[in-house]
Amino acid sequence: MDIASLTIDQVQEGLRGRQFSAVELATAALEFARAENLKTNAYLGFSEERALDAARRVDEKLARGEDAGPLAGVPVAVKDVIVTKGVQTTCGSKLLANYIPPYDATAVERLEAAGGVIIGKTNCDEFAMGSSNENSAFGPVRNPHALDRVPGGSSGGSAAAVAQGTAVVALGSDTGGSIRQPASFCGVVGVTPTYGRVSRYGLTAFASSLDHIGPFGHNVRDAARLLNVIAGRDPLDSTSAEAPVPDYLAHMDGNVKGLKLGLPREYLKDLTSESGDLIGKAIETLKKLGCQVRDISLPTTDYAIACYYVIATAEASSNLARYDGVRYTFRSGSSESLNDMYRNTRGEGFGAECKRRIMLGTYVLSAGYYDAYYLKAQKVRGLIARDFSNAFAEVDAIAAPVSPFPAFKIGEKIDDPMTMYLSDIYTITGSLAGIPCMSVPCGKTAEGLPVGMQILAKHFDEARMFRLADAFERAGGAQN
């Protein structure tokens, strides 16, 4: 059993052919994940008892001749900002180091109902705030392709788990690129669905109007299958959409001839690195597949970084106010008064990046500045969304880079927040517009570092996005 290379199809074929049982697979996956975790620190904890119980249920269903579900026996990793009943959920923060949730996120319930086996919770930037996975209170995650490099953030642990093969698929969260960027850095597929496509119930809030749950996979089919399982309306989340969820696999026929593909000139004009060369080769592959490529403009792109960091930090300031030491968080032991307890708990519990964003968010929401910053940012967000609406009136999908560069070295940018924030310049726009976006591997640099191509589609058109990505993957696009 070559656990590191297993796909969902191979897991199901192995179970049907009695090559292994779900319990045997879960046991082997847990053992392998623990060994590999010494190298990457991708996991913060393992859920052995829960995994083996889920695996036994799968084996029992198969023994009775029942359908065990589309994820039957598949080892899954879950980012540690997504709550899991009875399993520690820390959000990568000292504040929640001992927190055990009393309920499951809707996405977790759905993947286990589909037969998925959750083997552990993955490391992440504290409260999902970061672009490198260096902001975790429990140490950085290392990129499986180069252990001295970051895996991307904030879902770096989930991306690394899939890249090293310790999980077949994984759940991450994306606020401004936190699925697509680590997917690109780690050479896996990562999908940010349309806002509202997947329930946020049980996702620890960072910026509520921007947060998404989405899948990682070794290939496009695995990511699409996981999204099919977790997507759909949830009465527990008022922002989840009523839109029907199609069978994504049924649309992945390899035929993209005649598809109109837009190339945003604002994304490509300054992309002169090796990443740019690989994106260029990927575009040529899509042309050979019959795509009609045309230049488009997204004119408000230059305002996206400022717009995002006003909105995201403002919402973070509000959402993180609940971590005060009173209820379920870490509490400072060196306080003489209630105000001291609040101040000391938050001062000792939050890391530097969380403090930076809380302070900035509190400032832009303060009296006299709300209209000047937050309200104006929301207006710019509307202009960014309009750019995409205009573009999708001309094209069926958009192809773009994910990041200006491949994975950088641990410690290289951590002391320069502005440079770190600029690494999200190509992913933030799609997040602000709430459209579906994904990263699909398109090759490696001379140093062997993976690079991903971003595909963006109009609202709730994940099916077309997957069809394009799958055709590119079938054409060997990852081998550029």
Which residues have CB under 8 Å from 235's CB, separation 6+?
A: none
Cα–Cα distance for residue pair 90/78, rounded to 1 Å: 12
Helices (H), 117-202: 156-164, 180-186
Helices (H), 91-219: 106-113, 156-164, 180-186
Cα–Cα distance for residue pair 122/31, rounded to 1 Å: 16
| Active-site residue identified among 158, 178, 184, 275 | 178
154 is catalytic: yes
| Active-site residue identified among 79, 94, 444, 458 | 79
Cα torsion angle, 372, 373, 378, 382, sign: positive
H helix or E strand, kind and range, residue 151: none
Q: Which residue, among 73, 70, 84, has the nearest Cα to 225 in the 3D structure?
A: 70
178 is catalytic: yes
Contact indicator for 407, 115 with CB cutoff of 8 Å: no
3-state helix, strand, coil in the chain (%, to 5): 45, 15, 40
**Could you give the maximum distance between any two Cα atoms of the chain, in Å?**
70
Cα–Cα distance for residue pair 51/49, rounded to 1 Å: 5
| Active-site residue identified among 93, 131, 154, 240 | 154
Q: Which residue, among 345, 346, 372, 368, has the nearest Cα to 357 in the 3D structure?
A: 346
Cα–Cα distance for residue pair 474/123, rounded to 1 Å: 31
- As annotated, the active-site residues are 79, 154, 178
